[in-house]
Amino acid sequence: MPKRTLLLILALIIVTVGLVWLSVYTVPQEKAPTVTKKPAVVPFAKTTITLSSSPSAVTNELNLYSLDTQISTGDNKITAVQLEISYDPKALTNVDILPGDFLNDPIVLLKNVDEKNGRISYAIAIKMGQAAVSGNGSIAKIEFSPLEGSNLTTTSINFLPKTKVSAEGQSKSVLKSALGTIIDLVKLSPQTISSPSSLNTTE
């Protein structure tokens, strides 16, 4: 075999062995992990509802009191509110619910007072063509009389999970929180009720 041919064969063998070694022992460099920045989630539920802790007297005749239901919308623009409220029928009677002044002449979609089970279902909404409302104010007023003969000294009125608030541009409820209240029944005696002319209906 000519010397030149032998050298070519040896060269090919060396090149082949080198390529095999590179393919087996060369570790591919790992790419740096890509960090994807998630867009900041802006909470859409900004509205809070709170029951006043200070009932105001309405009339002497039925020992009737009124409790304000306050709403604060943040930057939500409210179109409707559904209140689901529980109370103790063994402590309160003559229970009723009326619209506050937060919505201007609202449509009453639902109003039901279950005196047996102590539950209020109440829903109101703006009228067609009216602008959605934002700010603070009274969304509803709960009227009641302390039940005569009850041995209870305090009672609570609470919001139920089905309480919801609808707002412009939102498909889900924008209710952030709903806070009930505890009423001191001892203070609500007929002797402490003021005459209607001197009533203070604000908190």
Topology given in CATH for the domain delimited by 47-188: Immunoglobulin-like (2.60.40)
**So what's the pLDDT on residue 150?**
86
For residue 57, give Cα distances in angstroms to 91, 93, 151, 183.
17, 15, 21, 13
Q: Where are the domains of the chain?
A: 47-188
Question: 73 — alpha (psi -120 to 50), left (phi > 0) or beta?
Answer: alpha
Q: Which residue has the higher pLDDT, 37 or 139?
A: 139
**Mean pLDDT confidence for 32-39:** 54
pTM above 0.75, yes or no: no
